[in-house]
Amino acid sequence: MTERDWKVVNPGGSHRVVVTKELPGARWLQLLTAADCRVEVSRSTEILSEAELRAAFGDHCDAAIGQLTERWSAETLGALRAAGAAIYSQYAVGYDNVDVAAATRLGLPVGNTPGVLTETTAQLAVALTFAAARRIAEGDRVMRAGEYHGWLPGMLLGALIYRATLGVVGAGRVGAAYARMMVEGHKMDLVYYDVRLNAELEAYIADYAAFLVAHGEQPVTCRRAATLRELLGACDVVSIHATLTEETRHLIGALELAAMKEEAVIVNASRGPLVDEAALARHCRAHPRFRAGLDVYENEPAMAPGLAELDNVVLVPHLGSATTWTREGMATLAAANVAAILRGWPMWRAAPGLEDVLPFLGDEEPPHAAPSIVNADDLGLPRIAAQAPTKEDQQ
């Protein structure tokens, strides 16, 4: 990359911050310039290699904001630290592409952007569910090709997602939000699989079931599956929301797909490698009534051979967080992490009631804290006081 491939904002700033992609909105840049940062933003739409990242740091770099699509290995993080960086902040809630253990050994805080993607990503999973179940993409192709010659009783028949059984693999923030949307909206019975019991979700579904009974309707149910196979065999719709680790890579493979119902729908808006994509392509080819909706891919941006030719698979290009509010909010949180560390401010989320990142996203002065540093405890970074700081405290 040459010098003209970079845009410089606030060139007189005393802290040099490298940002590997142009980010939406203006607030994130305002936060960094207010922290006296010179911000260098890559104009490239290509994924930067580790060599390109290290070249961008040069001899001096105080912080970097990077992407989920990049590899931040121990070597690259070491180069960043050697250039004098005080923080690496990721423009994403997930960070499986970052060697956090290496960063911690280097004394380098790693930031991320939780709390702003939950509803947006869950909505996208809902959209994929219905696009696949109701064959929306197929219908769109028929119309655009001029192949619609009139209504027919048997044309593009799909699945009715109502009073069916919903399976959620990974009942964290996004998985639980998706579950609530589907159960409330379509009166589905919920089966979830997670290493942890989600008592809050179970109580929520129980309250909704009581509401239905009070209105003379059949209640919905919720239970935690003992095994993944148990969930897969029982559910009409399965949505994947697990965290990607070495243990969960290819969580869904040929054997798991074979355990699902013939006309089931599977959705993945979490991480591509959770699903063996080649096995999924083979399964969808062999079972044309089985349907899939994918937002993420195992070797993104590439897809498994043959996947794009399958009518029973809906494909979108990693749009889970793609709303203006969310993407701008992510940029704000990533920049707020950097600004806080460079200014020596403490960490956010010190006590119950201070876990919400919304105070960073409004028009008011944000808290003088880093919204989310994933290795803060391991690094012994100070936390904000138990009460939210007042304007007087922040002077």
Round the average pLDDT of the chain to a whole number and report it.
94
Between 300 and 362, the higher pLDDT residue: 300
Distance CA 114, CA 393 (A): 25
Distance CA 360, CA 103 (A): 25
What are the pLDDT digits (tens) for 13-31? 999 999 999 999 999 999 9
The per-residue pLDDT for 363 is 83
Residue 352 pLDDT greater than 60, yes or no: no
pLDDT band at 308 (very low <50, low <70, confident <90, very high): very high
The per-residue pLDDT for 2 is 63
What are the pLDDT digits (tens) for 173-202? 999 999 999 999 999 999 999 999 999 999
What are the pLDDT digits (tens) for 58-103? 999 999 999 999 999 999 999 999 999 999 999 999 999 999 999 9
Residues belonging to the active site: 271, 300, 318
What would the mean pLDDT of 156-178 be, rounded to a whole number? 97
pLDDT band at 4 (very low <50, low <70, confident <90, very high): low
Distance CA 70, CA 81 (A): 17
As beta bridge partners, residue 110 has: 88
The per-residue pLDDT for 362 is 83
Instruction: Find how far residue 229's CA is from the centre of its chain.
Output: 25
The per-residue pLDDT for 384 is 84
Please report, rounded to a whole number, the percentage of residues in the chain having pLDDT higher than 70: 95
Residue 57 pLDDT greater than 90, yes or no: yes
Residue 220 pLDDT greater than 80, yes or no: yes
Q: Which domains does the chain possess?
A: 3-116+323-379 (3.40.50.720), 118-315 (3.40.50.720)
What are 103's two structure tokens? 């960063």
What are 229's two structure tokens? 């196979």
What are the pLDDT digits (tens) for 268-301? 999 999 999 999 999 999 999 999 999 999 999 9
Q: What are phi and psi of 165, to 5 degrees?
A: -105, 125
SS3 content of the chain, % helix, strand, coil (to 5): 35, 15, 50
What would the mean pLDDT of 381-393 be, rounded to a whole number? 62
Q: Count CB neighbours of 385 within 10 A.
A: 13
Cβ within 8 Å of residue 21, ≥6 positions away: 41, 42, 44, 45, 67, 91
pLDDT band at 351 (very low <50, low <70, confident <90, very high): low
